[in-house]
């Protein structure tokens, strides 16, 4: 048994006035008491000066990629041992940054599931989708999840279920990182996507759809998906997500993960933004900055309708998206006008619920796993505190520094 005490404590949903003492035993939170709580004699207490909060989620990662240029594509050609090494390294980078749970939405060869099930101490909990389902030559086809036609779609979903995935990921639109695919369009027809979702739901699996295009968002909604990734709203006339679409997202309870967050220093070190990305934006007269502003405006309208916003970086997908920068995705929300509470909630309690782990982690609450992050600074008025982790516990086990 041990105690952790801090003057500022965010419990996953709100700040607790006056701080708190959190009691941990056997990997589980046993109590969340006042800062002045007199702990039992046998219980050592560490008093921190900063902010204590639940460990963070990165709800969109590609553990098989080291985030180097073309890293995701290369993973599709590596042997299992090499892929496993990258997965563990990615997890370490996530862990030391304060991430205690990742949701992997783009695996190769089901290696992420193998690592998930190998119970490595001190590495983040994994929710895994296996190889994402896509059309022939479609977005991320090189990860091995190509399906062609309704029969193959159903078979692939059932095969994923047999192998033990936690969620099905489908590429509803093309993507920026796969040459020859169209992020403005759709990849499947509506009936195919419905068959995919119905089959997944039939075996109890949620579905999240990658959708950059407005057409892809609409199609995913009509098919009944549970979450939409990116949610960019690309149309030939700009970034546009009309009110009726947002109303449908809210009514359906679909969680949106805008995959914000990138390391601008890494962007600057590259000769130019990735070609496909800049080409896509140029096609509609936008650059990175104006596109980001337009996206944040969409997210504010989404939030005002009560839509659940989840934080995930798309870590591993590109050089500007390394593992371990979820704090920047949270900060991007506050820069876009969100309160610190709403922004951090999107990476804790809301993310946990969206990943169907709300009764396991994501809050400082007795009975939940002891996934705890302590950061340097007062998070209540300084979002950059999230970039300064000083202690990370995953199921009560301290994460070894790198
Ligand atoms: Zn992705």
pLDDT tens figures, 278-335: 777 888 888 888 999 999 999 999 999 999 999 999 999 988 899 999 999 999 999 9
Q: What is the pLDDT of residue 283?
A: 84
Q: Using the structure block, give the residue that is written with the tokens 């309690």.
A: 349
Distance from Cα 227 to the centre of ligand 1, integer Å: 13
What pLDDT score was predicted for residue 402?
62
Report d(CA 131, CA 133) in Å as an integer: 6
The confidence score (pLDDT) of residue 4 equals 98
Give me the pLDDT at residue 400, please.
79
Which pLDDT score is estimated for 271?
A: 52
CA of 106 to the centre of ligand 1 (A): 6
Q: What is the pLDDT of residue 123?
A: 95
Under-50 pLDDT residues of the chain: none
Q: What is the pLDDT of residue 281?
A: 81
For residue 256, the CA-to-ligand 1 centroid distance in Å is: 14
Write down the pLDDT at residue 99.
98
Expressed in angstroms and rounded, the spacing between residue 141 Cα and the centre of ligand 1 is 13
pLDDT tens per residue, range 156-206: 999 999 999 999 999 999 988 788 888 999 999 999 999 999 999 999 999
The pLDDT, as a whole number, for residue 274 is: 61
Report how far ligand 1's centroid is from the alpha carbon of 44 (Å).
42
Give the global pTM: 0.96
Ligand 1 centroid to 231 CA: how many Å? 12
Distance 317 CA to ligand 1 centre (A): 6
């Amino acid at each position: 048994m041990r105690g952790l005490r801090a003057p500022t404590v965010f419990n996953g949903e709100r700040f607790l006035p006056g701080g708190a003492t959190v009691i941990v035993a056997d990997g589980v939170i046993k109590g969340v008491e006042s800062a002045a709580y007199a702990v039992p004699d046998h219980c050592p207490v560490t008093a921190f000066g900063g902010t204590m909060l639940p460990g963070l989620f990165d709800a969109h990662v590609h553990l098989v990629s080291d985030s180097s240029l073309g890293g995701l594509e290369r993973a599709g050609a590596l042997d299992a041992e090499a892929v496993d090494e990258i997965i563990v390294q990615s997890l370490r980078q996530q862990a030391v940054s304060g991430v205690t749970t990742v949701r992997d939405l783009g695996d190769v060869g089901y290696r992420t599931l193998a690592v998930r099930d190998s119970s490595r101490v001190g590495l983040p909990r994994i929710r895994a989708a296996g190889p994402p389902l896509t059309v022939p030559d479609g977005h991320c086809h090189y990860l091995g999840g190509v399906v062609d036609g309704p029969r193959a779609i159903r078979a692939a979903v059932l095969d994923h279920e047999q192998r033990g995935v936690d969620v099905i990921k489908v590429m509803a639109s093309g993507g920026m990182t796969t040459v020859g695919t169209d992020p403005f369009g759709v990849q499947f027809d509506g009936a195919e996507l419905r068959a995919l979702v119905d089959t997944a739901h039939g075996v109890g699996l949620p579905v999240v759809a990658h959708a950059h295009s407005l057409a892809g968002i609409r199609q995913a909604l009509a098919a009944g998906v549970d979450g939409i990734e990116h949610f960019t709203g690309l149309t030939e006339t700009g970034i546009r997500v009309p009110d009726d679409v947002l109303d449908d997202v809210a009514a359906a309870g679909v969680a949106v993960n805008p995959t914000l967050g990138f390391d601008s220093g890494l962007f600057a070190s590259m000769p130019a933004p990735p070609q496909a990305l800049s080409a896509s934006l140029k096609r509609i007269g936008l650059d990175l900055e104006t596109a980001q502003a337009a996206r944040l405006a969409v997210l504010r309208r989404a939030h005002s309708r009560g839509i659940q916003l989840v934080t995930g970086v798309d870590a591993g997908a590109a050089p500007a998206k390394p593992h371990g920068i979820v704090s920047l995705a949270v900060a991007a929300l506050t820069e876009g006008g969100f309160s610190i509470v709403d922004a951090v909630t999107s990476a804790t309690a809301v993310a946990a619920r969206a990943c169907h782990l709300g009764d396991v982690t994501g809050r400082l609450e007795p009975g939940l796993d002891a996934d705890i992050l302590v950061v340097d600074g007062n998070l209540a008025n300084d979002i950059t505190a999230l970039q300064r982790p000083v202690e990370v516990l995953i199921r009560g086990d301290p994460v070894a520094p790198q």
